[in-house]
Structure 1
């Protein structure tokens, strides 16, 4: 077996092409889950030969998509491949990507990060190295881990990436003291929420929100995913004539309720999947919801309220990302509703730390997105991107 060639140092060109591969990978968002988003660029002498990305779940992975785009008669021998995630080495819905790499006989394969999926987890890298091909791992690693943070969380913890969303006034209220909340945000913000729903596996609300707002919780127009609509209500607060139940043909509806909740059979008869809590602890119940979503291979779940549900998830330290729409309105009132209920934090120093938030405009509203900084940040790479 030939010995692998000496490790090649990272160059500005490596960073350039890996960033291109990451840009390609992002185009699969919402269509490839529960698989990760992956991009691939094949280069010779500083010029791209072909590129590809994982476009949909069950379809060709990025490496095979790139090979399919190679011009007729062009040899891939001696090329450099830039791949945002370790090539898979097992047969799933598609053949192993390592076979496509080895058949092409590249001189070098540059990978942003190792895939922690148990059936891969270094095995793909080992196969490619064993063939005498130079393999480099860690180029733009932090960007790759950030791109696939939801996938990585599900693989490592068994739970989905939790996105909290709310619209609030300038004085931080999501409803008036009487419970009125429609509409705080403008049309542009509501359209953005529909786009967000359309790339998530589930949209979750509490029973109070389902009762007060009578939402449909689907994506209009439909996105790449059809989210499961989930209501969390120990007392089983979901009316048979609600918009959720009446639109069950547009997407699954699940109700998490206590075992002793009354009057649930009509919901079951209407097609609602009722899942019974096995604990009286509010935190255990929310953990059960997340575990159930993870077991169903859900990667991203969107929680739209109300304050008790969001507060409970916040207290459980389960929220990974926030999408907040701030409208140019003020309602006032000590009894007006705030976004997060629950116990909250006793000290500011105990509150979550966020990476630099993204701030933009949605019509007249201000749109803020932020991700919590991991307690164990991704391993840094040895260059300045």
Structure 2
């Protein structure tokens, strides 16, 4: 096999890390590529599930003695603590790795310290190779750990004129089957799916991740969360069907805001405490508006259908914006056609001051 550059190896490690999306929480996604002293790839690995072997351990097992004197290229700083698995730093040092190249430092105060331990053991350490890409691949986890709240993606489906339903309330189906399949794949990458009780009462959704062609459920299901301030979720609602875990979050349990409804920041704080690092907000316009009003949306994923309704509820309700100067500016990061629809991914721009 031909030798590869450290830059190329990091690109491959980032690809490997993505295979763990949706299955590693509360741990990060991590990829690792091991190069021998000649620059040949001798081991690859990624963290597949919480409690399982870390990416470095998988790659070291593949490489065996060929790792000695080589380079470990890893997307995130190797852990330096003993949890359900031992410190990756110890394994790298014991294997005789001479150099470790890191994409991003670990912000988790429990696991950090890997760079110091490796350096003290005489291992050469380089930080920041393809850092932006490594950061983007682990954005939800990194953001969550840095602030102690899950990363929130608001997903919506609408016509090209911004309508989430017709004037009579019907909304099935605004977008195509291809878009709905894509949404189920998106559900499979997050830890929790959040809706309001209004959506449950109107549509009675299952909120599971499944194959729409045959109805089979994905192996791993996100937690289903119903924001239900006053406990109106019916006992026979499909979200209670046992196909996945469900939490009906009431104001009495979570805490109430000034309006007497569920305090959304408190809700996210509790989800983080339960190990949730990424949340998909699929609620209707009212809940979406409340999340935006509280500045709790990190990413927007919109599925826009080439259709016009001219009436009916908008995809977004009151977000507390009263004048054009208060508008939430977004930055497009991806626009892709999915079947006949467009999937638009955008990030809110940070406000000045």
Q: How does the TM-score come out when normalised to structure 2?
A: 0.91
Q: Cα distance 1:67–1:196, how it changes in 2: closer, same or farther (>3 A)?
A: same
Q: Where in structure 2 are the equivalents of 1:225-240 lying within 5 Å?
A: 225-240=220-235
1:215-364 alignment, distance < 5 Å? 215-221=205-211, 222-223=217-218, 225-245=220-240, 247=241, 249-259=242-252, 275-281=253-259, 285-333=263-311, 336-348=312-324, 350-364=326-340
In the alignment of these two chains, the number of paired residues is 343
Structure 1: where are the runs of 5+ without partners? 1-11, 260-274, 377-385
The answer as to whether partners of 2:21 and 2:190 remain within 8 angstroms in 1 is no
CA distance in 2, matches of 1:144, 1:308: 35
CA RMSD between the two structures? 2.0
- Long gaps (5+) in structure 2: 212-216
Task: Provide the C-alpha distance between the structure 1 equivalents of 2:177 and 2:280, rounded to a whole number of angstroms.
Answer: 19
Distance in 1, matches of 2:244 and 2:337, equals: 30
Please give the residue correspondences for 1:1-80 in structure 2 after superposition, counting only pairs within 5 Å. 13-44=5-36, 45-70=38-63, 74-80=65-71
Residues 21 and 276 (structure 1), Cα distance of their counterparts in 2 relative to 1, 3 Å cut: closer
Q: After superposition, where does 1:373-384 map in structure 2 within 5 Å?
A: 373=349
CA offsets 1:68-87 (integer angstroms, 9 cap, x no match): 1126xx43221111111111
State which of 194, 199, 209 in structure 1 corresponds to 2:184: 194
Q: Secondary structure at the match of 2:184?
A: helix
Matching residue of 2:81: 90
**1:6 corresponds to:** none
- Report the secondary structure of 2:94's partner residue: helix
Question: Structure 1's 99 and 151: CA in aligned 2 closer, same or farther, altered over 3 A?
Answer: same
CA distance in 2, matches of 1:347, 1:327: 28
Which residue does the alignment assign to 2:214?
none
Aligned counterparts of 1:144 and 1:282: Cα–Cα separation in 2: 41
Q: State whether residues 201 and 225 of structure 1, in contact with CA within 8 Å, keep that contact through their aligned partners in structure 2.
A: no
Offset at residue 30 of structure 1 (A): 1.0
Q: For residues 218 and 18 of structure 1, what CA distance do their matches in structure 2 show?
A: 34
Give the aligned partner of residue 145 of structure 1.
135
What is the alpha-carbon distance in structure 2 between the residues aligned to residue 375 and residue 113 of structure 1?
25
- The 1:57/1:224 distance shift into structure 2, 3 A limit, reads farther
Label 1:141 to 1:369 Cα distance change in 2 as closer, same or farther (>3 A).
same
Residue 185 of structure 1 pairs with residue 175 of structure 2: yes
Local SS of the residue matching 1:250: coil
TM-score for the superposition, normalised by structure 1: 0.84
Contact between 2:16 and 2:32, CA under 8 Å: does it hold in 1? yes
Q: For the residues of structure 1 that align with 2:196 and 2:67, how far apart are their CA atoms?
A: 54
Name which of structure 1's ranges 284-293 and 55-64 shifts more when overlaid on structure 2: 284-293
Partner of 1:169: 159
Contact 1:28/1:55 (<8 A) preserved: yes
Cα distance in 2, alignment partners of residues 131 and 355 from structure 1: 43
| Cα distance in 1 between the residues matched to 2:142 and 2:183 | 24
Q: Could you tell me whether the CA contact under 8 Å between 1:41 and 1:50 is conserved in 2?
A: yes
**Cα distance between partner residues in 2 of 1:353 and 1:283:** 27
Q: Does 1:154 align with 2:144?
A: yes
Cα displacement string for residues 149-191 of structure 1 (whole angstroms, at most 9, x for unaligned residues): 1111221211111111111011110012222111111111111
Aligned partners of 2:163 and 2:314 also within 8 Å? yes
User: Structure 1: how far apart are the matches of 2:136 and 2:221?
Assistant: 24
Q: Which deviations, in whole Å up to 9, do the C-alpha atoms of 1:197-252 show, x marking residues without a partner?
A: 1222111111111101111111113335311211112232211222222x1x2112
